[in-house]
Chain A
Amino acid sequence: MALDKLTGENSMLFIRSEQLFDFARRNSLWYIAFGIACCAIEGLMSASGPRFDFDRMGVFFRNSPRQADVMIVAGTVNKKMALTVKRLYDQMPEPKWVVAMGACASTGGPFREYPNVVLGVDKIIPVDVYIPGCPPRPESVQYAFIELQKKIARRTEERLAARTS
């Protein structure tokens, strides 16, 4: 939606604050640059590289959890790492979303028999989108972000419906 098309001179725009804020949130999903293992190369580095160029979707990395909306858990979380993941998640401001990238973050992946490995990051933090693959292609990470945008749009409708009913 190109806002400047809707707004001519002297025109006014009526929009519910939820819609406006969620519109902004959905289109500037900043993720925290937090690569744990192999998936980070595909999900964070290739993603910000020139071919996949997530920036054009408003998806951009921030180095601090306090500036991030999304956490891509890209890699195997083991028990030593789990505390850090949880702490980083807690440091992110609301509203926040989590993408579990790859088999490891979703279920433990190829390492799930090993006792030290957390069997999916959803054991410690809530996950919104799971991406299968080992590693998932950067395209699937893009798809995950599109799904996340849809999810946020649904959330807007739900919030509006709750207010009007």
Chain B
Amino acid sequence: MSDQCEETLGVGLLCEGQHDPGTPPAGLRRAPSGVDGLSTEHLIINMGPQHPSTHGVLRMIIEVDGEEVIASEVSVGYLHRGIEKLAEHRRYDAVGTLMDRGDYVSGIMGELAFALAAEQLMEVDVPRKAHWLRSLTSELNRLASHLVWYGTFGLDTGAMGQFLYAMREREALCDILEAITGQRMMFNYVRPGGVVADLPVGVEEKIRAFLATFPTYLGEYDQLLGGNEIFQARVKGIGVIDRDMALAFGLTGANLRAAGVDFDVRKARPYAAYPELDFEVPLGTVGDAWDRYTVRMGEMAQSARMIGQLIDGMPEGDHIAKVSKIIRPAAGEVYASVESSRGETGVHLVSDGTEHPYRMHYRGPSLYAVQALEELLPGHLLGDVVMLIGSTDVMLGEIDR
């Protein structure tokens, strides 16, 4: 058996029970097939669209040989509801409602991408305060979104407790966002020209109270999940998306940065208040699931840091520029993008000078991640599939749109 094991496992990783994060996934943890002349038969497994761990209505068709995935196919479209098409029939200030429902866990970023695109066409001067409020709500929303990911990623690897803590923190963030925008999830807060409302009285204290505890808690949460040996064994060295693969698939966000590529829209094409903020972009090294985990945890710490800066330095002034009730931007074609919780969320907007967009294309980063999954899964064990889907943090709302 051990000879066989050496042979079929390649580097014998499973035998030694160690992970070498530098080894590419091909042949990793390959189960021995055809032992003692017994042949195995391939089995096709359908997973989804109703599956508790596919993060929505993702459907995967997986071909397995014993425990090992040899081919996978992603089937999307179960949540297609025509966001791009409907935007052609909405006024410019109402498209935000649709963008919210794209990447529904981090709605502000979608709205912001659209508002930035519309503003390029409108040539409007956005007040400084609006920029700061946009960054503030974006970072609050990023925290809320990453907490949902943190909770569910733990569930995918078999842990439970962290989900309850993540949801507790998320409730605090939902309260803050509700106080600012009026809604817990679907904000419609960022409009072309600025934001809808100024910070209400009392929300600053709420945010400060949250920030007083959150960084400490975050360290504890990291220990709770990341410090768990079982969790580490399940994610370290598994699901390597290296630099080349990440770039080839057009990945952005934490999935790309986990591979060590330093690309963050907030730094590369600064928008809102980010040029004025002091923050770092956490990077990974090899691009395995563990790196994606650490990058996102690092991002949460950075977001908390930025929220502190934003609250301290919040400028005075108007929160929205003077824009007409019915916006008719100049005809033209623009692209604007933001760093959402999942990567580069972009909006390509074509205007023909009327009050509706002529065409709006929504670039959702999850669509690229889900394509990379198709290539990533073969070679891994069936039990890792759910973990790998969780590690890429895909959001079906923006895949199907």
Docked Cα-Cα span, A76 to B86, in Å, equals 15
A67-92 CB contacts (< 8 Å) to partner B = 75-76, 78, 80-81, 84, 88
A37-B397, A113-B86 in contact; A49/B170 too (CB < 8 A)?
yes
A13-21, A40-48, A142-150 - interface stretch:
A40-48
Docked Cα-Cα span, A65 to B52, in Å, equals 11
A141 within 8 A of B: no
Q: Are the C-beta atoms of A117 and B186 separated by less than 8 Å?
A: no
A51 touches B85 (CB 8 A): no
A48 to B49, CA, bound (A): 21
Q: Which residues on the B side are within 8 Å of A114 (C-beta)?
A: 81-82, 85-86
For the complex formed, measure the closest distance between the CB of A51 and the CB atoms of chain B, giving whole angstroms.
5
Q: Is A132 an interface residue (CB 8 A)?
A: no
How far apart are the CA atoms of A137 and B175 in the complex, in Å? 12
Whether a CB of chain B sits under 8 angstroms from the CB of A134 is yes
Say yes or no: A37 contacts B104, CB within 8 Å: yes
The answer on a CB contact under 8 Å between A36 and B79 is: yes
A-B pair count, CB < 8 Å, reads: 96
A111 at the interface (CB under 8 A from B): yes
Question: Measured between alpha carbons, how far is A114 from B174 in the docked complex, in Å?
Answer: 30
Contact residues in B for A78 (Cβ distance below 8 Å): 78-81
Contact B101 A81 (CB under 8 A): no
Q: Are A80 and B86 in contact (CB under 8 A)?
A: no
Contacts of B354 in A (CB 8 A): none
Instruction: Name the interface size band of chain B.
Output: 35 or more
CA distance A115 to B89 in the complex (A): 14
Given contacts A38-B104, A135-B186, contact A76 B52 (CB under 8 A): no
Given contacts A37-B104, A42-B184, contact A75 B79 (CB under 8 A): yes
Return the contact of A81 from the options B49, B86, B89, B98 (Cβ within 8 A). Answer: B49
Most chain B CB inside 10 Å of its own CB: which residue of A36, A41, A61: A41
- Closest chain-B Cβ to A93's Cβ sits at a distance in Å of 16
Given B81, B148, B396, which contacts A45 in the complex, CB threshold below 8 Å? B148
Cβ-based interface call for B258 (8 A):
no
Contact A117 B81 (CB under 8 A): yes
- Report the minimum CB–CB distance from B257 to chain A (whole Å): 25
Interface residues of B in 94-116 (CB under 8 A from A): 97-98, 101, 104-105
Decide yes or no: A36 and B56 within 8 Å by CB, A41-B105, A50-B167, A116-B80 being known contacts: yes
Distance of A48 Cα from B148 Cα, bound (Å): 13
- Report Cα–Cα, A114/B401, bound state, in Å: 12
Q: Which of B49, B56, B168, B185 contacts A50 (CB 8 A)?
A: B168
B97 touches A110 (CB 8 A): yes
**Is the CB–CB distance between A111 and B86 below 8 Å?**
yes
Q: How far is the CA of A117 from the CA of B101 in the complex (A)?
A: 14
Taking a contact as CB atoms closer than 8 A, the residue among A80, A88, A137 that contacts B78 in the complex is A80
- Is the pair A46, B171 in contact by a Cβ cutoff of 8 Å? yes
Contacts of A110 in B (CB 8 A): 86, 97-98, 101
CB-CB under 8 A from B184, the residues of chain A are: 42, 135, 137
Contact of B56 among A40, A111, A113 (CB under 8 A): A40
User: Residues of B contacting A135 with CB < 8 Å?
Assistant: 184-186
User: Chain B: which residue is nearest A79 at the CB level?
Assistant: B80
152-172 of chain B: CB within 8 A of chain A: 152, 163-164, 167-168, 170-171
- Indicate if the CB atoms of A49 and B171 lie closer than 8 Å: yes
Candidate in B98, B148, B185 with the most chain A CB atoms within 10 angstroms: B185
With both chains docked as a complex, state the minimum distance between the C-beta of B111 and any C-beta of chain A, in angstroms: 14
A83 CA / B338 CA spacing, docked (Å):
36
Docked CA distance A137–B183 (Å) = 9
Indicate whether A34 sits within 8 Å of B50 (C-beta atoms), given known contacts A41-B104, A80-B78, A135-B185: yes
Q: Do A51 and B86 touch (CB < 8 A)? A: no
Among A32, A41, A49, A75, point to the contact of B168 (Cβ < 8 A). A49
Which B residues lie within 8 Å of A116 (CB)?
Answer: 80-82
CB <8 Å contact, A38 and B171 = no
A50 touching B397, Cβ below 8 Å: no
A35 to B79, CA, bound (A): 11
Taken together as a complex, chains A and B put the C-alpha atoms of A63 and B51 apart, in Å, by 7
Which residue of chain A is the closest to B77 with respect to CB atoms?
A: A80
A33 in the interface (beta carbon within 8 A): yes
B57 on the A face (CB < 8 A): yes
Whether A76 touches B81, Cβ cut-off 8 Å, given contacts A38-B185, A135-B186, is yes
Given contacts A50-B168, A81-B78, A115-B82, 9 further A-B contacts (CB under 8 A): A32-B50, A36-B56, A36-B57, A38-B186, A46-B171, A49-B168, A114-B82, A116-B81, A117-B82
Question: Please, could you name 25 A-B residue pairs with CB atoms under 8 Å apart, sorted by A?
Answer: A33-B52, A37-B56, A37-B81, A37-B104, A41-B105, A41-B185, A46-B174, A48-B167, A49-B168, A51-B171, A75-B79, A78-B78, A78-B79, A78-B80, A81-B57, A84-B49, A88-B50, A110-B86, A110-B98, A111-B81, A111-B83, A113-B86, A114-B81, A114-B85, A135-B186
In the A-B complex, the 5 residue pairs with the smallest Cβ-Cβ separation, listed nearest first, are: A49-B167, A38-B104, A114-B82, A111-B81, A63-B52
